[in-house]
Structure formats: structure tokens, C-alpha cells
A and B are shown apart, each in its own frame.
Chain A
Amino acid sequence: MKRRGKISKAIHRIYIALIMLFLYSPIAVLILFSFNAGESRGKFAGFSLRWYKDLVNRDALLGSFRNTLIVAAIASVVATLIGTYAAIVIHKMPGIMRNSTIKVANIPMLNAEIVTGIAFMLFFGAISVPLGFSTILIAHITFNVPYVILSVLPKLRQLNKSTYEAALDLGATPAMAFRKIVLPDILPGIISGLLIAFTLSLDDFIISYFTAGAAFKTLSVEINTLTKRRIPLSVNALSTIIMIVVFVILVINNLRKRPNGNKALIKERSA
């Protein structure tokens, strides 16, 4: 029996390794070729940092990356404000209205991205707003809002209603009671909504592609333009840098979660 367990454990490990090989070999090759001394994506001509140095002169690429960061930052903050407000209002709605409002609010999350993108393009065309920074921003805010609602609503459901009412009875204004009682409890939901919104914006290509127009390009839209010709390996270099930053953030986020989780547990037990 014990031996059988060992064998199945080994099979599990091998299986995980094979899937990871599948998921990571393209990425490994992408990273490897960011150090290529030559220009080919298929033949490695020796190690060099030339594509990282080359990045400095790629104004279009760096500019589009800056645009991506700006859009993601503004869109995620605005979407978090709108989404949190929406979640609070939705939470107070009577049953039928709440369900139908949530259904409509979820549409941009569930619908195919290409349909959302086309719908926005037609919409902005119909009201004669030229495509650019403002249109891509509105589109990003719209598809981010349902994710914020989705992460804040459960926190509102877990709220203890009577503490809020007690605060009011004790003379707190609604605004004060909200700030002191409700906000601290739903804050984790708001923060995770903000993070989801930011990463979704950062990652988006399809909706940006249809709403950005020619003048304002995000990184993914710029890379798409480059794929029409020969992609310079500086794209590999930039992707490698982004990936390392994301990996570090994910690891830190994970390490941070653990001790907090323990603290919460201790708090719960002592309470």
C-alpha cells in the first residue's frame, strides 16, 4: 500500500512537470531569445544584452507601455469607486431589482470581449466621439466595474447590520458610521477588486484594440502593429522585464497573505 502511494505520488509529480513544461517552454524560449546576439527568433547566436539596450531607443514601444500603465491606473481607481458605490446600492435594493441589476452589471464580464469592443466602437462612432484616450478609458472602466462589484458584494453580505445601527443610535452620522464601521469591513473586498481591475486593464488587448484608435496606443495594440512586420527582439526584452516584475509581486503578495491569515485566525480564536 505504501509503495503504491509512492508510485502514484511520482506519477503526480511527473504530470505536473509535463503541464508546466507545456506552459513555460514558449516563455522560456521568449526569455532566452531576449538575450540573443543575433536578430533571429529561431537561431541563438550567442549571449548579449543588445535588445535591452535597444529598448531605450524604442520610443513607440516605451510610450505605449506608459500609456498602458496610465490607462490601467486611472481605469482601476475609477472602476473601484463606481463599483464599490454600485455594490453598496445594489446590496440595499429589494430582491428582484437586485438580481436584475446584477445581471446587467455582469454583462461586460460574461460577454465575448470582441462583442464588447465592437459595441463600444459603434457607440462612440454613433455619438461622434473620436477614438483615443478617453474612449479606451471609458471602455476599461466599464469592463472593470463588474469585477469590483463581484468582490465587494460578498463582504457587504457578511457585514453585521446591528453594529451599523448601534453606531447610528449612539449618535453617529450615517457618513461617520459608514467610515468607522462599514468601510473597514469591506476594505479587503475593495482592495482585491482594485487589484483585479488593474491587472485586467494591464492585460487587455481586444477591447483596447477596438476603442483605442490610431493616435493612442497601448502596449498590446503596439505589439499587434509590430506583428504585421518583423517583431524586434526588444519586445522579448520588455516582456521579460514585465514578467519578472509580475512574478515578484505575486510572490510577495503570497508571502504577505500567510502571516495575515494567521493573525486573523489568532484574532478569531481569542475573540
Chain B
Amino acid sequence: MTKKSRINNILLSIPIHAWLLVFTIVPLVMIFFYAFVEVTDEGLKFTISNIVNVLSNERYQSAFYDSLYYAFISTVVCFILGYPLAYVMTKLSNGARDLLMILLMLPMWMNILIRTYALKALIDEQSILSGFFKFVGLENGTLTNTTTAIIIGMVYNFLPFLVLPIYTSLLKIDYSLIEAARDLGASGVVVFSKILLPLSLPGILSGITMVFVPSVTTFVIPQLLANKKWTVGSLIEYKFMHEAGAGAGVSSDGSALSFLLMIIVIAMMSIVNLVDKENDAGGVV
């Protein structure tokens, strides 16, 4: 490459770097700003008091605990339901696979509000399933406002996100490996733990991230299905949109919560990247 074309390339990349700076980095810096800077009479002052406040507040603590708990359980349930589905899909004929892909993707094309609202109609009081809920011992004949409702809501919304990447990585596995292991006397458990699991790990990791991140941050699902339960997402939404001066948009508590939520997301992705690198396989994340 000549010197001239190198300078040309740098000039051409300026608009992109400017774009990323203004619309990706600066907005995120705003969250740091409101989380860590205090406006006093003498000017701006760096402070960690917002973060300390949020971390020492019992209501916020329990919201963090609950959000992580809901996201963890949903991710586990999604994996238990989704991995076998992805595996079974690889065994189908091409036509059946395509149809199933469409059926899995179709709900993803409707937005989360409509999906959750459709689910709510099934589990509310006086729904079609009320009789069933009463029969199994739920007094009001509804799942609304229970932890179960939130978990079902998350699994229902995010299950396809987990199935698709796992399905893609399972498809790449050379089937003769499995046959060879079988011929050499490996049991189903051994085939799963020694062949399927390690070879589909990149898909599993990106699938898990794609369920965990939206689960731990959502405010739509807890609000619609269990409005009496606080999660970090619903707290942030409340802080910015409903507390004093709705929509005015500045909340130091809310910014501190958003900052901490971002830390959780980054931590989750670092763990996934670490596991991924150890296994020396390129994942999506």
C-alpha cells in the first residue's frame, strides 16, 4: 500500500469515527456523567455518592437480586427447553427445518409488547385458563403477579434467541463423529458430553447471552405480568419516566442504576468471551 492511499484511508474513516463518537460514545458518557457528577454551586464535582446510595438502598438491592434471579432461572429453563429442540431440528428434512425456522422467527417479528400482552391474556384472571389455574390450586385463578408469570414471560419471549444460534452450531457438527463414537460403544450421555456439548459451545454461549441480557434488563415483562414486583429495568424506567417531572429525563439514581446494569452486562459478556477463548472457538459475541 502506498503512503498516499494510506492517508486516503485515514481521511475516509474520519466520518465513521465522528459518527461513532457522537452517537455511540457521547450518549454513554452522559450516563457516567449523571451517575458520577454532582452539580453544586461551585461547579461540577465528582462523586460516588449516587452509586453508594443505590447499592446501600434495600429496595434497590432486592431489585438487583430479583432481576439476576429471574434472568438466571429463565436462561436455565430456556436452555433445558431449547437445546433439545435445536438438536431435534437438525434431524428433520430440509422442508420441515425451513418451516420450523419460520415458525420460530415469526414471534420475534412481533414486538415484545404485543407478545407479552398476548401471553397476559392467557394467564390473567377470567382468562380461558382461569379454570385450570383454580383447579391446580391458585386461588384467584391467575398467574399474574407471581414470579412464575415473569419466568414464563421471559422464556416465551426469548426462547427463539437461544434456539437459533445453537441450531446453527449443531448443524456444523460432522455427523460421522457421532456415528463413530456410537460404533465404539459410547452411550448417549457420553456422546452428548464429549461431542455435542463441546462442539456446540459457541452457539450455546451466544444463545445464553441473547437470553440473559434482555432478561436481566427488561421492564416490559415484569410491568405487564407482575406490576407489583420491581426489577432493575422497571426501577430505571420509573425513575426516568414517572418520578418527579416525568420525561424530563434527569435522574441521578436512575443513571447510577443504568451504570450498574451496564456493568452486569459487560461482566456477563466478559465471562462468555473468556470461556469461548479457552475453548478456542469463535462465537458471535
Fill in one digit per residue for A228-251: 1 if any B CB lies within 8 Å of its CB, else 0: 000100010001001100110011
- Residues in B with CB closer than 8 Å to A82 are 19
Would you call A42 and B113 a contact (CB within 8 A)?
Answer: no
B222 within 8 A of A: no
Fill in one digit per residue for A142-160: 1 if any B CB lies within 8 Å of its CB, else 0: 1001000000000000000
Minimum C-beta distance from B116 to chain A (A): 9
- Residues in A with CB closer than 8 Å to B26 are 123
Given A122-B255, A223-B113, A26–B156 Cβ distance below 8 Å?
A: yes
6 tightest Cβ-Cβ pairs between the two chains A and B: A119-B27, A122-B30, A112-B217, A26-B118, A123-B27, A42-B126
B109 within 8 A of A: yes
- Residues in A with CB closer than 8 Å to B247 are 131, 213-214
A204 to B108, CA, bound (A): 11
A49 to B56, CA, bound (A): 55
Would you call A119 and B31 a contact (CB within 8 A)?
Answer: yes
Q: Which residues of A contact B (CB under 8 A)?
A: 9, 12, 15-16, 19-20, 22-27, 29-30, 33, 40-43, 82, 85-86, 89-90, 92-93, 97, 101, 104-105, 107-108, 110-116, 118-123, 125-126, 131, 138, 141-142, 145, 199, 202-206, 210, 213-214, 219-220, 223-224, 227, 231, 235, 239, 242-243, 246-247, 250-251, 254
A118 to B109, CA, bound (A): 24
Given A105-B20, A113-B217, A119-B30, A243–B106 Cβ distance below 8 Å?
A: yes
Would you call A122 and B34 a contact (CB within 8 A)?
Answer: yes
Chain B, Cβ-Cβ closest to A40: B126
A42 to B130, CA, bound (A): 9
Residue among B28, B122, B269 with the most chain A CB within 10 A?
B28
Would you call A246 and B122 a contact (CB within 8 A)?
Answer: no
B214 within 8 A of A: yes
Consensus secondary structure, chain A interface: helix
A25 to B107, CA, bound (A): 11
Would you call B17 and A23 a contact (CB within 8 A)?
Answer: no
B219 within 8 A of A: yes
Given A16-B88, A41-B124, A121–B81 Cβ distance below 8 Å?
A: no
Given A41-B127, A247-B102, A29–B20 Cβ distance below 8 Å?
A: no
Minimum C-beta distance from A76 to chain B (A): 14
**What are 28 A-B contacts defined by CB distance under 8 Å?**
A12-B88, A15-B84, A15-B88, A19-B81, A27-B118, A29-B122, A33-B121, A41-B124, A42-B125, A82-B19, A90-B16, A104-B20, A105-B16, A105-B20, A114-B233, A114-B236, A121-B249, A138-B23, A141-B23, A142-B24, A145-B19, A227-B224, A239-B118, A246-B110, A247-B106, A250-B109, A254-B98, A254-B102
- Residues in B with CB closer than 8 Å to A107 are 24, 28
Would you call A122 and B122 a contact (CB within 8 A)?
Answer: no
Would you call B122 and A224 a contact (CB within 8 A)?
Answer: no
Minimum C-beta distance from A16 to chain B (A): 6
Minimum C-beta distance from A96 to chain B (A): 13
Would you call A204 and B20 a contact (CB within 8 A)?
Answer: no
Chain A, Cβ-Cβ closest to B20: A104
Given A85-B16, A90-B16, A121-B240, A250–B106 Cβ distance below 8 Å?
A: yes
Q: How many residues of B contact A (CB 8 A)?
A: 79
- Residues in A with CB closer than 8 Å to B13 are 89-90, 92-93, 97, 101
Which of B44-52, B132-140, B168-176, B258-266 is the interface stretch?
B258-266
B85 within 8 A of A: yes
B65 within 8 A of A: no
Would you call B258 and A118 a contact (CB within 8 A)?
Answer: yes
Would you call A243 and B110 a contact (CB within 8 A)?
Answer: yes
Given A89-B16, A110-B285, A203-B110, A118–B240 Cβ distance below 8 Å?
A: yes
Residue of A15, A86, A112 near B262 (CB, 8 A) is A112
Minimum C-beta distance from A67 to chain B (A): 14
- Residues in B with CB closer than 8 Å to A112 are 213-214, 216-217, 261-262, 265
Residue of B100, B117, B217, B220 near A16 (CB, 8 A) is B100
- Residues in A with CB closer than 8 Å to B119 are 26
Would you call A125 and B12 a contact (CB within 8 A)?
Answer: no
Minimum C-beta distance from B54 to chain A (A): 14
Would you call B110 and A115 a contact (CB within 8 A)?
Answer: no
A204 to B20, CA, bound (A): 21
A119 to B240, CA, bound (A): 11
A104 to B23, CA, bound (A): 11
Would you call A115 and B258 a contact (CB within 8 A)?
Answer: yes
Fill in one digit per residue for B188-214: 1 if any A CB lies within 8 Å of its CB, else 0: 000000000000000000000000011
Minimum C-beta distance from B245 to chain A (A): 11
Chain B, Cβ-Cβ closest to A146: B24
Residue among A24, A42, A104 with the most chain B CB within 10 A?
A42
A67 to B32, CA, bound (A): 32
A126 to B250, CA, bound (A): 9
Chain A, Cβ-Cβ closest to B219: A114
A267 to B9, CA, bound (A): 35
Would you call A239 and B124 a contact (CB within 8 A)?
Answer: no
A111 to B109, CA, bound (A): 20
